[in-house]
Amino acid sequence: MPIFFAILSLIDIFVGGIVFLNTGFIFKTLIRYLAFFSISKGAWSLLSSTAFGYYFDWMGAIDLITGIALVLINFDIALSSYGIIGTVAVLKGVYSLLLSI
């Protein structure tokens, strides 16, 4: 099971890098899939933690915000906060990777 979490962490680092760089050279289809993945993962995390009575799921919130940022990047909407969102997502991915090892 730790390898599964390590793979998710690596995907988080990759997604955070895309948001940080606000890259236009990545295929739009890949951005759409990553946005769907990140929003789904964040929503699942937030809903499941709320069901267990834990109302401060910062990792799920970061996934959800990162997914929304990817949707905005997909529609070529530029925001100045992409650097901050990408940095936080990469740091979350590194933190999760260190926890899974």
pLDDT digits (tens, 9 = 90+) for 5-27: 999 999 999 999 999 988 666 78
> Are the C-beta atoms of 70 and 19 separated by less than 8 Å?
yes
DSSP state of 97: H
Give the chain's domain count.
1
Strand extents, DSSP E, 6-78: none
Domain of residue 38, residue span: 2-100
Q: What is the pTM of this model?
A: 0.91
pLDDT digits (tens, 9 = 90+) for 49-58: 999 999 899 9
